[in-house]
Structure 1
Amino acid sequence: MITYVFPGQGSQKQGMGSGLFDEFKELTDQADEILGYSIKRLCLENPYSNLNKTQFTQPALYVVNALSYLKKIRDEEVKPDFVAGHSLGEYNALFAAEAFDFETGLQLVRKRGELMSLISNGGMAAVMGLNEEQVAKALKEYHLHDVDIANVNAPYQIVISGKKDEIEKAASLFETMTEVTMVLPLNVSGAFHSRYMNKAKEEFEEFLHAFYFSPPSIPVISNVYAKPYTYEFMKQTLADQINHSVKWTDSISYLMKKGHMEFEEVGPGNVLTGLIHRIKKDAEAMPR
């Protein structure tokens, strides 16, 4: 069995999608029309460093991931058994599963990016060396009540999210802990997957009412629940994803329990491939 995984914010880089925009000219033109700017120029030239601003990052990654997927299935003539995406990448997983078309997905991520960009002064940091329980305990002990766990990327790679000054304070405290191997501030423009996204979630929920989705043709593993999407709760799950933790470790563990599973990352970079390698390694090391 094979699962295709789609990356989210943090995987963007100048030059991504090179070659794809000309190959899929019709969809590229469609994207330009929806966005009101050239997606090719944004990805290849990165004017005003816009690629690192969430309102641009999200549509850019969605388009590049989608075109990468279309090229892959056209060239290889194979469809995956399962799909999953990290945060923004989940929209590409739903697109691959034919829950909505390219255009609908782009309209959704454009709105998602716009709403998330309105909430400023946030930050995120990855804490390496501690598991989710240990990070939660440390946040409590250090009275960092305004910091949330945003992503469980691997058993010992936990991302925290909150106001910029609180994240800086948290990072300094985590660095003093002997078990912590590294604290890495993330190059993001907001406190994603935290309570600070509640307003964005509410507005996005309203926006979703206008759209029609189809039942997924391939199981899509949800970040929020680490199990397949159900059609009835699709819109609710997408809205919840904005202010809930990304359960990436649990999602990959769920897929690994299905039997012999191969994973292929579709889109720019290999961040998810590295995380999956870590999850597998830690699963092997854990006592049964």
Structure 2
Amino acid sequence: MSKVGLLFPGQGSQYIGMGKSLYEQYAVARETFEEANEVLEFNLSSLCFEGAMDELTMTFNAQPAILTASVAAFRVLLQELRLTPTFAAGHSLGEFSALTCTGAIKFEDALRIVRKRGLLMQDAVVSNEGAMLAIIGLSDLEVEAVCEEVSTGYGSMVVVANYNSHDQIVVSGHTAAVDIVKEKLSAKGVKTIALKVSAPFHTPLMYSAFAGLRDELESCSYGKFAYPVISNVTATPYSDSNYIVSNLTTQLFKPVQWHNSIQYMLNQGVHSFIEVGPKKVLKNLLTGYSKVHQSVSFEHPFEIGAIREAGIESHPDGMGLISKCIAVAVSTQNRNWDNEHYETGVVIPYNKLVDLRDQLIQSNTEPTIDQLQFALDMLRSILETKLTTKELQRERFNQILTNTCTHELFPLFEVS
């Protein structure tokens, strides 16, 4: 079975119409966008599907929009395929999507955080005073040297923002300084691409957003990881959810170590990747990595077939059922705001599910029928507590049993 890495795109991947095809075909995608509309208190769906590009590109809109489109795609992916990710990584904003999809951050919290993050980042610089530029074909040292040459002080700063791949680096800073870098490199025949962003991300110019983002992050609680997420700052997996606040605040003004993140996963035996969300930016960045066996993207219904043909699906087994129960527990919308009831009916059963999975992994044993029944019972408690409709509960359980080929083990299983 191939080890699979999930990749979540960052800002700049937005476009009008993103997420619409999934929204129209899958109930779980519609629920995701509707939940975002409710949490953000404006019609994000309309902005994504038919809004103005200038409005969508604004940082405080683009960030929750891309997060929502990515989470919707992830939920469809888990519903339709048998997948057990080995790692996940997200590029800049995409790290929030990765953390949400692994269960470390609740979707509603992530929406509020990235909306606030976008506002803080937008306010950190005067309009049109910041820009980002992708540079193709130069080494790290060559790009760093150009940035050092052009930067004359805090009023004219340009630094490396993203180490994207072996031949693509992104610089960020004051617009005038970025323009000078572009002119110098263009004169030498170096290819550059201006990014569709509205602020100089991952630079010291973001320092003023630090405290506000930290406060927003500290106001939330965080859960366990269903599978490891690679940090943009360290290019290694989070060892604990306690590092979420520090990593995501530091990420504001530190470069994204994307090349090293991909290399880490390759070194751990991940050779198949799925980009989950709008466009194919991250899939395209994988070109040139000799150890990448296959890479696919998922943002449209027709791409399900291509993923199946690539043979990336996990083999059906009991562990797959437990993983699906955890994924459905995370992805199903909550409509119960009784905190005490939520703790006993959702949090405790979810933790028991995660503990069961971890114990089986540590002991390297397959789950028994009783343990699988226990997992289904824990999920039933979670869905009932979240006030999920009986119809949707039946749909979710049918998907789990079908996608893990375990129907025959539980022929009498029903939602009461």
**Runs of 5+ consecutive residues of structure 2 not aligned to the other structure:** 293-416
**Runs of 5+ consecutive residues of structure 1 not aligned to the other structure:** 284-288
Picking from 73, 77, 82, the partner of 1:77 is 82
Q: Which residue of 2 aligns with 1:149?
A: 160
Does 1 or 2 have the higher relative contact order (CA < 8 Å, sep 6+)? 1
Q: Which residue of 2 aligns with 1:3?
A: 5
Q: Which residue of 2 aligns with 1:16?
A: 18
How do 1:22-61 and structure 2 match up within 5 A? 23-24=27-28, 25-47=30-52, 49-61=54-66
- Using the size of structure 1 for normalisation, the TM-score is 0.92
Q: Which AA in structure 1 matches 2:144? A: A
Same amino acid, percent of matched pairs: 34
- Kindly state the Cα deviation for residue 177 of structure 1 after the two structures are TM-superposed: 3.1
- Kindly state the Cα deviation for residue 155 of structure 1 after the two structures are TM-superposed: 1.4
- Kindly state the Cα deviation for residue 136 of structure 1 after the two structures are TM-superposed: 0.9
1:78-122 superposed Cα distances (whole Å, 9 cap, x missing partner): 231110011111111101111022111111111111111112310
* Other structure's SS at 2:223 match: coil
* 1:37 to 1:191, Cα distance in 2 relative to 1, 3 A: same
Note if 1:251 corresponds to 2:261. Answer: yes
- Superposed CA RMSD in Å reads 1.8
Q: Which AA in structure 1 matches 2:10? A: G
- Partner Cα separation in structure 2 for residue 33 and residue 143 of structure 1: 44
Is the 1:97–1:216 contact (alpha carbons within 8 Å) kept by the matching residues of 2?
yes
Q: Which residue of 2 aligns with 1:139?
A: 147
Note if 1:234 corresponds to 2:244. Answer: yes
- Partner Cα separation in structure 2 for residue 137 and residue 80 of structure 1: 38
Is the 1:155–1:282 contact (alpha carbons within 8 Å) kept by the matching residues of 2?
no
Is the 1:125–1:167 contact (alpha carbons within 8 Å) kept by the matching residues of 2?
yes
- Partner Cα separation in structure 2 for residue 87 and residue 3 of structure 1: 16
- Kindly state the Cα deviation for residue 207 of structure 1 after the two structures are TM-superposed: 1.6
1:151-203 superposed Cα distances (whole Å, 9 cap, x missing partner): 0111121111001111111111122335x3x0212111010111111111222
Note if 1:272 corresponds to 2:274. Answer: no
Q: Which residue of 2 aligns with 1:286?
A: none
Which structure would you say has the larger Rg? 2
- Partner Cα separation in structure 1 for residue 102 and residue 144 of structure 2: 34
- Using the size of structure 2 for normalisation, the TM-score is 0.64
Is the 1:81–1:218 contact (alpha carbons within 8 Å) kept by the matching residues of 2?
yes
Picking from 188, 192, 200, the partner of 2:201 is 192
- Counting matched residue pairs gives 280
